[in-house]
Structure formats: C-alpha cells, structure tokens
C-alpha cells in the first residue's frame, strides 16, 4: 500500500504548526509519517509566499525532486500553504511534477484527495474559510525535541499592511476556542513538554466570545500560564498598534510567562509607516517600548524590519537606523522589500528603490544590529539565569543548550542535566548570537 507521507516545511512558525495538523489529519486516516524522503509515496511541501525568494526556493526544490521521482515514479508531490493559496492551479500548470495543491484552510480534505489521486490526475483545493481553526485536531509532534511546542491560537490576518501577502493567503482573522488551547497545552505538559509558544499573526487581537463572556489575549495567556508554574509560555507575534498595558501587566504577574516580546517595527520613518498602513507612528511605537521597560525591566525585545519599501528616501532609512539605536533590539529579522502581487503596494505604489540601494540599506541595518546585539549580550556577562534545557549543543556533545526567559540561547557543560530541566546558569562569555555559561547552585 502506498501510504507513506513526508512533509517538508518552509516559512514561519505557523506553517510548522500547520504541518503538525496535516500530520495528524493524515495519520488518523491510516497514512504513516515518513522521516526519510527516499521512502515516501507522497511528498507534501508546506510553502511560504512572503517574499519572492521564498517562492523561488520552492521552485528550486521542485526541480531537485525530479531526480527522486525518476527512481520512484509513483511518488506524488503536493504543495500546501501560502504559495499554494497564492498561485493555485497555475502552479500545477507551471510545475508539471506537482499533483495536488491544498490551501491553508483545506487540510481536512487531504485524505480524500490523496485517495482520489489516480495516475496522472491532478487536484486543487484552495477555498479559504472564515471559521476553520482546526481546534479539535491534536497536532502530531513528529519533528520535536519533546520540550518546546507551538500552539496555533488564531488564523488569518486582516491588517492589510501594504506590502504583505498574508491576508490573501491566510484569509480572515479568526480565534480558536480557548478551552481547546488550554487542553492542548495541558496534554503537552503531561507529556513532558515545558514550553509552549502561542501563535498568531497578531495575537493581541485574539478574541473569543461565547455565552456573553469574552476571552481576550491577556486572559488566554493567564489561563495557559496557570496550568503549571513549570510550563513556560511564549507568544508571537504582537502588532505594536494593539500592544496593551493589560497584556504587559499579565506578563508581570505570571512568573512563567517569558519576558520576550517580538514587536515588528518594519520602519522607523513616520511617512513609511503610514504608506505601509501599519497604523502607528514612531512615537507610538517608542511609547510601547517604554511601557515594556516599565512593566518588565528585564524583557528582551526583538523585531522585523523591511529595507527599501516603495519611495523610501535616505532620510527614511536613517530614521530606521535611529529607531534601532533607540530601542536596542536583542534580535532582528531584517529583510529587503520584495513586491508581492495583489497587495496594496503592487496595485498603487512603485517598487522604485534599486536593488543595490536596498542591499546597501539592509547591510547597514544588519551591521548596526550586530553591534547592538553584541553590546547587549556583553552586558549579560556575570548575570544568572534560569535556563530550560532543550538538548545537546550542535557544536559539541559535551555541552547542552537551553534558553532563558528572554529567549536567549545559552550553552553550558553537560554534567548530569537532562532536557526539560531548569538549571541556573551564570553567563561567563558571549558572541552576538549566543551566551556561554556555567551551572551555579542558587
Ligand atoms: N504578522 C507579523 C509578520 C508576519 S510576516 C507582523 O505583522 O508583524 C514576517 C515579516 O516578513 C514581516 O514582519 C515583515 O517584516 C516581512 N515581510 C512581509 N512582507 C514582506 C515583503 N513583501 N517584503 C519583505 N519583507 C516582508
Ligand atoms: Fe502581514 Fe501586517 Fe498581517 Fe503581519 S499584520 S501578517 S505584516 S498584513
Ligand atoms: Fe510565509 Fe505564510 Fe507564514 S506567507 S511567513 S508561511 S503565513
């Protein structure tokens, strides 16, 4: 029987969480999840469409897979996720080794589709839904360290930032029943997991209404944090326009809610932010940073930024560098603007910044952020942190690694510590990306 499925995931954490849902849907119907692609009968590629290079990478991967298909001619390749949703059937016309296409809200249809994929037949299912949250599906954690896990708490986005394709690939925003979220976190804890990250494109707008009561994001965080003090809770991503004091207070009140906030700034220029439809000003953003520092003085702050959006001047770019100097981020995901079809920018703005200028601006941001991250990490030397051990260090099997509440990776000598344990570590050295430390009894 041809029933071995291999899932390959690209893109954001939400795609990783979705692949676990897909794994669960298929294994319930008798498919087995295969770890070696060379043994698979079906190869599912969960794709990202956020920038053009994300899509190019998938096209390249499809070309590579032709060799594998020559030896195993019955193997069927399916495209899932955001690129599937964005290009739909056209993708099957352009890539003749793709047999099926499934958008992010149609994964329940997968078992039926696979069973109908007779030789040569092609299928696509890309309807978006206003209500699908996969709330009742317990994800299969098939590529896991057994300690940390993602929980999807909402889907979709309707912020329509001018550059962004997500509202078109993921559909309208919808929140998942909080009871199912708490139950999932509870099960994870009982299985030995010690950290959950609650996921959504804009978690601050999480809202569940039922029988006259409303659960907002701060309440949901509290509910998950109260499962057990040994279960750490993180979240991603919060939109600056909705980052409330109430959330910061909830974080301050629960020791196990981690002190790390990812707050994508995108640009430091008021004019650019307006054009991007971000709906906050640099002043508002800095006010939110002050609020974080007020309620959670030891909180780490990370961000996303885009260099070279439509019409960006040198002055706008300098405002972004200035923002980085003011906030002093602990980590940043830094991107060159990539024009995406269908977005507001594609319809109304010009992609007028030459590529070499985008590259130079991006490099300036990267260089500055590198200096700041190293300076921030240098200040950590001498401090003691509670670290959740995740596993053996990639560099040496004599060392373990874990993270502190601030989400910084710390490497230390193995001794007798086990993954899932909390250990107090004193930081002794650092690089821009990693802290190095030693266990202390405290
Ligand atoms: N929901 C999150 C971000 C999701 S996408 C938020 O609103 O912050 C992750 C990041 O990709 C974005 O924060 C942005 O920095 C970047 N990004 C999105 N569209 C892009 C584009 N067209 N070109 C370059 N970077 C982009
Ligand atoms: Fe995209 Fe903006 Fe939604 Fe984030 S908030 S996913 S950047 S549209
Ligand atoms: Fe990419 Fe879709 Fe995530 S476009 S960033 S995989 S929501």
Q: pLDDT (tens digit, 9 = 90+) per residue, 299-318?
A: 999 999 999 999 999 999 99
Q: Is 325 left (phi over 0), alpha (psi -120 to 50) or beta?
A: alpha
CA angle 275-312-372, nearest 5°? 105
- With residue 220 as reference, give the H or E element that holds it: helix 217-225
pLDDT of the residue at 442: 60
Number of C-beta neighbours around residue 231 at 10 A: 18
pLDDT of 340 higher than 90? yes
Q: Among 10, 15, 154, 262, say which to mutate for ligand 3: greatest number of ligand atoms within 8 Å of CB.
A: 15
With a 6 Å cutoff on the Cβ, whether 169 touches ligand 3 is: yes
pLDDT of the residue at 1: 74
With a 6 Å cutoff on the Cβ, whether 14 touches ligand 3 is: yes
CA angle 86-90-96, nearest 5°? 125
Alpha helices (H) in 231-281, listed in sequence order? 245-253, 270-275
Of 101 and 432, the one with more pLDDT: 101
The separation between CA 397 and the C-alpha centre of its own chain, rounded to angstroms, equals 28
CA gap 129, 209 in Å, rounded: 19
Distance, CA 276 to ligand 1 centroid (Å)? 11
Q: What is the pTM of this model?
A: 0.96
Phi, psi (5° rounding) for residue 56? -60, -35
Which residues sit opposite 149 in a β-bridge? 196
pLDDT of the residue at 75: 95
With a 6 Å cutoff on the Cβ, whether 163 touches ligand 1 is: yes
Of the listed ranges 107-121, 167-181, 197-211, 402-416, the least confidently predicted one is 107-121
CA atoms within 13 A on the CB side of 114: 27
Q: pLDDT (tens digit, 9 = 90+) per residue, 383-415?
A: 999 999 999 998 889 999 999 999 999 999 999
User: For 239-255, what is the mean pLDDT?
Assistant: 97
What confidence category does residue 211 fall into, taking pLDDT thresholds of 50, 70 and 90?
confident
């Amino acid at each position: 029987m041809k029933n071995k499925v291999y899932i390959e995931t690209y893109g954001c954490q939400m795609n990783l969480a979705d692949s676990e849902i897909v794994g669960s849907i298929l294994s319930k119907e008798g498919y087995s999840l295969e770890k070696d692609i060379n043994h698979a009968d079906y190869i599912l590629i969960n794709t990202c469409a956020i920038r053009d290079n994300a899509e190019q990478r998938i096209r390249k991967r499809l070309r590579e897979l032709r060799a594998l298909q020559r030896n195993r001619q019955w193997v069927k390749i399916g495209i899932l996720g955001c690129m599937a949703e964005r290009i739909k059937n056209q993708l099957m016309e352009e890539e003749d080794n793709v047999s099926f296409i499934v958008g992010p809200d149609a994964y329940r249809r997968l078992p039926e589709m696979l069973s109908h994929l007779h030789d040569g037949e092609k299928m696509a299912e890309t309807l978006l839904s206003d209500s699908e949250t996969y709330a009742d599906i317990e994800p299969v954690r098939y590529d896991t360290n057994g300690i940390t896990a993602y929980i999807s708490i909402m889907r979709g986005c309707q912020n329509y930032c001018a550059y962004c394709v997500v509202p078109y690939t993921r559909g309208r925003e919808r929140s998942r029943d909080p009871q199912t979220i708490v139950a999932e976190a509870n099960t994870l804890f009982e299985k030995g997991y010690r950290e959950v990250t609650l996921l959504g494109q804009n978690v601050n707008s999480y809202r569940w209404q039922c029988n006259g009561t409303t659960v907002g994001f701060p309440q949901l965080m509290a509910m998950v944090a109260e499962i057990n003090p040994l279960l750490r809770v993180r979240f991603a991503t919060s939109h600056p326009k909705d980052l409330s004091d109430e959330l910061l207070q909830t974080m301050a009140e629960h020791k196990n809610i981690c002190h790390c906030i990812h707050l994508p700034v995108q640009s430091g220029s008021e004019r650019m932010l307006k054009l991007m439809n971000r709906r906050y000003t640099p002043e508002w953003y800095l006010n939110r940073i002050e609020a974080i520092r007020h309620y959670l003085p030891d909180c780490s702050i990370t961000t996303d930024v885009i260099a070279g959006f439509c019409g960006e001047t040198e002055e706008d770019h300098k405002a972004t560098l200035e923002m980085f100097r003011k906030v002093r981020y602990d980590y940043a995901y830094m991107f060159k603007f990539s024009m995406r079809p269908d977005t507001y920018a594609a319809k109304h703005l010009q992609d007028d910044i030459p590529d070499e200028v985008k590259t130079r601006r991006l490099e300036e941001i990267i260089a500055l952020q590198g200096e700041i991250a190293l300076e921030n990490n240098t200040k950590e030397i001498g401090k003691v942190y509670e670290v959740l051990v995740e596993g053996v260090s990639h560099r040496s099997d004599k060392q373990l690694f874990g993270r502190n509440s601030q989400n910084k990776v710390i490497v230390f000598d193995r001794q007798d510590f086990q993954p899932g344990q909390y250990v107090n570590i004193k930081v002794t050295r650092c690089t821009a990306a990693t802290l190095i430390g030693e266990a202390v009894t405290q």
